[in-house]
Amino acid sequence: MTEPLSEHTADVIVVGAGPAGSTTAYYLAKAGLDVLLLEKTAFPREKVCGDGLTPRATKQLVAMGIDISEEAGWLRNKGLRIIGGGVRLQLDWPDLASYPDYGLVRKRDDFDEQLARQAQKAGARLYEQCNVGAPIVDDRTGRITGVKAKLGDEKREVTFHAPLVVAADGNSTRLSLAMGLHRREDRPMGVAVRTYFTSPRHDDDYLESWLELWDRRGPQDRLLPGYGWIFGMGDGTSNVGLGILNSSSAFRELDWREVLKAWCASMPEDWGFTPDNMTTSIRGAALPMAFNRQPHYTKGLLLVGDAGGLVNPFNGEGIAYAMESGQIAADVIVQAHARATPAQRELALHNYPKILKDTYGGYYTLGRAFVKIIGNPKIMKIATQRGLTHPVLMKFTLKMLANLTDPTGGDAMDRIINGLSKVAPKA
């Protein structure tokens, strides 16, 4: 590992120790770079999430050497149970060479800490309770050269310095905003709200998705653009929540916490989704989708995970793409670090947004079109009622929505999905 010049100086600063930041720091440290990982809160800390991980996210955990055994507290799931249009369809995760055939469930407070500790083990220097404020910018070049922060309970003012900074500070990403990178309004945004209930359904080995989400509180029932979920946690509780897209006029006018309460009240009584069984308050979070903040590299700053709008617009999944973008960013930084001149390093760093677009651009473009289509309640209703009665079509849909295909070879479904992603514009 590169010897640190001082306690607050490094090769790279990573701001935020969520899945994106911790993965970035892990791979950077593993490659021998000196990395500062700055987390504004202290572990364990809660984040709003469905807690369900697809095989895509599971693959990333395996690559990082995380112990994902049941003995270590991970609950495995076999696939996705889809409910809608009067149909209940259970689909196993596809059997692929590129991804495992199972997903996982783990609470985010514990999940994030495991990744951060793994980055520490690899050599990253983790600072908890380190609230990053303004970037330090070179007046001559406009490049970021560090960050200002307040450290610990006493909020001691410190500065950290590095030639490269990674913004992994989530949807709000104050660091990106301070560097002039604003959210693109032409990209979809979602919101997720969730809570936990003590429930006999806690040991379900399928993730459950309800494609019809009804607002039944007005004079007429209204179908909303989004989906509900029920994920058994294996610890006596179920994570119950919903995700909504901003493609509907209802996005801003409804209180989604109240919608979740009403939806839970419509569930069978013996499931236990009642206020008396609620173990936490209802909390919400934004889901920034489809590259809603760009460029992903500029003036010494790289964006990973939610900070770069990496959430999959098809299904609202963020953790897999946070971790994947972190690994990609780390690979690019490691290669740039080995270049001899500043010009050569910049050339390597500017490859990062190109790799992201090559990897996800076409698929996310398809996802943006999907979001617009399901924003129409009539189309959503027809798709739900007719699509769920065709298991082969739904198997294709599962692969499409979860982005689970073999990139080379695979079956006919894989080739169709991969082909569509290749020809779609990579915006």
pTM to 2 decimal places = 0.94
For range 359-380, the mean pLDDT: 83
pLDDT on residue 371: 82
12-56+107-185+290-365 belongs to which homologous superfamily? Answer: FAD/NAD(P)-binding domain (3.50.50.60)
pLDDT band at 145 (very low <50, low <70, confident <90, very high): very high
Taking the C-alpha atoms of residue 150 and residue 132, their distance in angstroms, rounded to an integer, is: 7
For range 295-319, the mean pLDDT: 95
Taking the C-alpha atoms of residue 36 and residue 238, their distance in angstroms, rounded to an integer, is: 36
Collapsing DSSP to helix, strand or coil, 58 comes out as helix
Q: Is the pLDDT of residue 114 over 60?
A: yes
Q: Is the pLDDT of residue 388 over 80?
A: no
Give every strand in the sheet of 87-92, ordered side by side: 87-92, 79-84, 206-210, 226-232, 237-245, 189-198, 283-288
Tokens 């990403």 locate to 173
Q: Is the pLDDT of residue 189 over 80?
A: yes
Mean pLDDT computed over every residue of the chain: 91
For range 52-70, the mean pLDDT: 96
Taking the C-alpha atoms of residue 344 and residue 358, their distance in angstroms, rounded to an integer, is: 21
DSSP 287: E
Q: Is the pLDDT of residue 385 over 70?
A: no
Which has more confidence, 121 or 248? 121
- List b or e across 197-234, with b for residues whose CB sees 16 or more CB atoms inside 10 angstroms: bbbebbebebbbbbbbbebeeeeeeebbbbbbbbbbbb
For range 18-31, the mean pLDDT: 98
pLDDT on residue 215: 67
- State residue 410 phi and psi, 5-degree precision: 75, -175
Q: Is the pLDDT of residue 278 over 90?
A: yes
Taking the C-alpha atoms of residue 129 and residue 125, their distance in angstroms, rounded to an integer, is: 13
6-11, long-range: CB within 8 Å, 24+ apart, which pairs?
8/36, 8/158, 8/159, 8/160, 8/161, 9/160, 9/161, 9/162, 10/34, 10/35, 10/36, 10/125, 10/160, 10/161, 10/162, 11/35, 11/162, 11/163, 11/164, 11/337
Q: Are 315 and 290 in contact (CB under 8 A)?
A: no
For the four alpha carbons of 6, 19, 243 and 226, in that order, the dihedral sign comes to: positive
pLDDT on residue 384: 67
pLDDT band at 387 (very low <50, low <70, confident <90, very high): low
pLDDT on residue 245: 82
Q: Is the pLDDT of residue 381 over 90?
A: no
Picking from 391, 390, 420, the residue whose alpha carbon sits closest to that of residue 314 is 420
For range 111-132, the mean pLDDT: 97
For the four alpha carbons of 96, 318, 380 and 91, in that order, the dihedral sign comes to: positive
Domain ranges of the chain: 12-56+107-185+290-365
For range 356-383, the mean pLDDT: 83
